[in-house]
């Protein structure tokens, strides 16, 4: 590869690494990320490249601190690569779906891509896609609550601290009590669950992982405490233990239940778990048989209860008794 080609590809890689304001990347971070992509260049070269590119692109440079920090103008709209119809439709579907899942501040950061997709579809004339909004919808499975509001500084600092490994000092409002507590958090992950986004972090000098709803963070700042990493932590593994399902313990249980054919059809297409057995045809009483390995948590029990009499739990016996007891209590409240 010639020197000119190498410079061109380096410039393209650098442009891809620079975020839109209010996010930013320092020149030292850009240098490290470029090295990961096979571009070994000196800091002076990177700074010179950025200065040259800023004459052709709306780049912003914060020179108040060193190293300098770079970002794109928030109004910058990139049309590269060019959209096609399938990609544009996927983006507008994603926007509708994510609006019920992610906080508004996260949606705003993707506003440029979503707007480009809508403009592309609006510009299609002479076919059904000229009225794409009549044909593209995303709806939640169940009642969707409006996502909790998250302060701009909270989202920006939490995401930056997570990716760049530094601790945060926060003032946090308890859910059960209207009281504020202060913590030093060491971010390990972010999980969006329904309409609430959570920060997974260890607290102060403790090693156990806790969940913090981002909308309950009252104030936040970078901590002077050194970041405490947890090398063996895995978000997927943490979720798989049922941490977000209100676990009764850390065990998995064997769910055995009689289910109606309409539920069986649903679970044949979208299984309850990776370990699931399901009969194809109903018995003489109109029941199909389900066996599945699931977390021992209340979330799964609530899901079962949502089907009412269409699911009859046989095992675990404790689940069967809990579901029947709650049904009796509901009926008793109308007595």
Q: pLDDT tier at 101 (50, 70, 90 boundaries)?
A: low
Return the bridge partners of 252, or none: 295
Tell me, what's the pLDDT at 245? 56
3-state helix, strand, coil in the chain (%, to 5): 40, 25, 35
pLDDT digits (tens, 9 = 90+) for 18-72: 887 877 888 998 998 888 888 888 999 999 989 988 888 888 998 888 888 998 8
pTM check: above 0.85: no
96 pLDDT above the threshold of 50: yes
Q: What is the 3-state secondary structure (H, E, C) of 68-106?
A: CEEEECCCCCCCCCCCCHHHHHHHHHHHHHHCCCCCHHH
Q: How confident is the model at residue 1 (pLDDT cuts 50, 70, 90)?
A: very low
Nearest-angstrom CA–CA distance, 231 and 183 = 21
3-state class (DSSP) for residue 287: coil
Q: Over 60: is that where the pLDDT of 160 sits?
A: yes
234 pLDDT band, cuts 50/70/90, is confident
Better-predicted residue by pLDDT, 265 or 330: 265
Mean confidence (pLDDT) of the chain: 81
Domains and CATH numbers, the chain: 3-72 (1.10.10.10), 85-134 (no CATH), 152-240 (2.30.30), 247-333 (3.30.70)
What is the tens place of the pLDDT at every residue in 305-320? 888 889 999 999 988 9
Cα separation, 222 vs 158, whole angstroms: 9
């Amino acid at each position: 590869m010639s020197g000119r080609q190498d410079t061109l590809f380096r410039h393209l890689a650098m442009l891809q690494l620079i975020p839109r304001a209010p996010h930013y990347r320092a020149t030292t971070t850009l240098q490290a990320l470029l090295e990961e992509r096979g571009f070994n260049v000196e800091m002076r070269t990177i700074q010179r490249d950025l200065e040259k590119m800023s004459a052709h692109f709306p780049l912003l440079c914060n020179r108040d601190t060193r190293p300098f920090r770079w970002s794109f103008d928030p109004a910058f709209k990139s049309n590269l690569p060019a959209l096609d119809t399938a990609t544009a439709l996927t983006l507008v579907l994603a926007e509708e779906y994510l609006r019920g899942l992610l906080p508004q501040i996260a949606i705003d950061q993707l506003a440029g891509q979503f707007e480009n997709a809508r403009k592309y579809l609006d510009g299609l004339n002479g076919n059904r896609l000229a009225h794409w909004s009549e044909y593209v919808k995303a709806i939640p499975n169940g009642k969707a609550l409006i996502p909790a509001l998250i302060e701009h500084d909270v989202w920006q600092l939490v995401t930056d601290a997570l990716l760049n490994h530094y601790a945060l000092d926060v003032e946090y409002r308890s859910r059960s009590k209207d009281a504020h507590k202060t913590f030093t958090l060491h971010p390990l992950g972010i999980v969006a669950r329904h309409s609430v986004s959570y920060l997974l972090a260890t607290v102060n000098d403790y090693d156990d992982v806790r969940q913090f709803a981002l909308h309950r963070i009252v104030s936040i700042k970078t901590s002077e405490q050194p970041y405490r990493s947890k090398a063996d932590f895995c978000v997927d593994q943490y979720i798989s233990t049922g941490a977000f399902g209100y676990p009764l313990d850390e065990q998995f249980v064997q769910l055995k239940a009689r289910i109606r054919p309409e539920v069986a059809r649903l679970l044949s297409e979208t299984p309850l778990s990776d370990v699931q057995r399901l009969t194809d045809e109903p018995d003489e009483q109109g029941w199909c048989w389900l066996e599945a390995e699931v977390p021992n948590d209340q979330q799964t029990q609530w899901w079962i209860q949502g089907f009412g009499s269409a699911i009859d739990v046989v095992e675990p016996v404790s689940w069967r008794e809990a579901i029947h007891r709650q049904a009796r209590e509901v009926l008793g409240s109308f007595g």
